[in-house]
Amino acid sequence: MEILTDLNALHDWKKRTSKDSRGFVPTMGALHQGHLALLARAKAENKRAVCSIFVNPSQFGPHEDFSSYPRPVEADQKKLREAGCDALFYPTPELIYPENFQTTVAVEAVSKPLCGEKRPGHFQGVATVVTILLNLIQPNRAYFGLKDYQQFILIKQMAADLHLPGEIIGVKTVREKDGLALSSRNRYLDTLQRERAVALSLALKEAKAAFSAGERSPKVLEAIALKRLKISGIEKIDYVSLRDGRTLTPVDHAKTSSVMLIAAYVGKARLIDNLSFG
Ligand code: AMP
């Protein structure tokens, strides 16, 4: 695996492999099987797979976990090497945001609700860095997890609006055996919190089961999920919301095109999960 830390190295790698299709997996590191599932898809569908690791300062709020976000660089490189990644783009913050950087990308409607409301500026940071990375890497395909559902919808919209290079592909959420969605932030959980955290996926499953049994009221379905979170001792809940799976607008009646999304704190870890009703 080639490690590309500056623009010369990146451009040189692209030149040397210019005949090969390129699949791109952007990450913030602290890699787990979820990230590796994206890499496996990138490898299967392209001649070359390139990952990036960049903990993007502009997508963290002032009181969020930017400085404490895990950065296990050596372990990450080992995982990528073992998974057969061809190249790792590992830029410095100065490379991505040089002095006098002035541009941000704002995606309007889909960045407003849910995490957009709770984390002001977050999606502008995501949209801006993903635009920069797609422009730098120039992939044929780029892979994003459906675990970050709102992020995925936003990137799809942005890539279409701005004609960004590469097809945007969503990959199914990878979960632990008990259902907890893999996340770099699961590292923050102690044993008791880890037990509690499974409630997010249980809540989604219970709501979907009620939908499958005929319940169509978003209010009732959200209440079912909320109850599970509360019974499990999860009190700081940012949202439990049933939305249209394409536009993320609220729905009057649950349908197979709906998705339920949850964000809640377990200890200091802010966890998100979602489940499509289709
Ligand atoms: P992150 O490093 O958290 O920014 O995530 C990098 C990419 O991996 C994003 O596209 C995430 O949606 C994706 N990802 C994170 N967790 C999972 C998971 N459990 N299953 C599938 N993809 C994931």
Answer yes or no: is the C-beta of 259 below 6 A from any ligand 1 atom: no
Q: What is the pTM of this model?
A: 0.98
CA of 88 from ligand 1 middle (Å) equals: 16
- Mean pLDDT calculated for residue range 179-197: 97
Task: Dump pLDDT digits (tens) for 166-186.
Answer: 999 999 999 999 999 999 999
Query: Tens of pLDDT along 132-142?
Result: 999 999 999 99
What average pLDDT does the segment 185-214 reach? 98
How far away, in angstroms, is 195 Cα from ligand 1 center? 21
Q: What are 52-99's pLDDT values in tens digits?
A: 999 999 999 999 999 999 999 999 999 999 999 999 999 999 999 999
Q: Rounded CA gap, 80 and 73, in Å?
A: 11
User: Average pLDDT, stretch 96-103?
Assistant: 98
Q: How many CB atoms lie within 10 A of CB 102?
A: 5
Tens digits of per-residue pLDDT, 222-246?
999 999 999 999 999 999 999 999 9
Given 11, 35, 63, 163, the catalytic residue? 35
User: 11 an active-site residue?
Assistant: no
- Most ligand 1 atoms within 8 A of CB, residue of 28, 35, 66, 71 to mutate: 35
Per-residue pLDDT, 14 = 98
- CB distance 153 to ligand 1 below 6 Å: no
Average pLDDT over the chain reads 98
| Residue 197 banded pLDDT, cuts 50, 70, 90 | very high
Residue 185 buriedness (CB in 10 A; 0-12 / 13-18 / 19+): middle
Which residues make Cβ contacts (< 8 Å) with residue 106, sequence separation at least 6? 124, 127
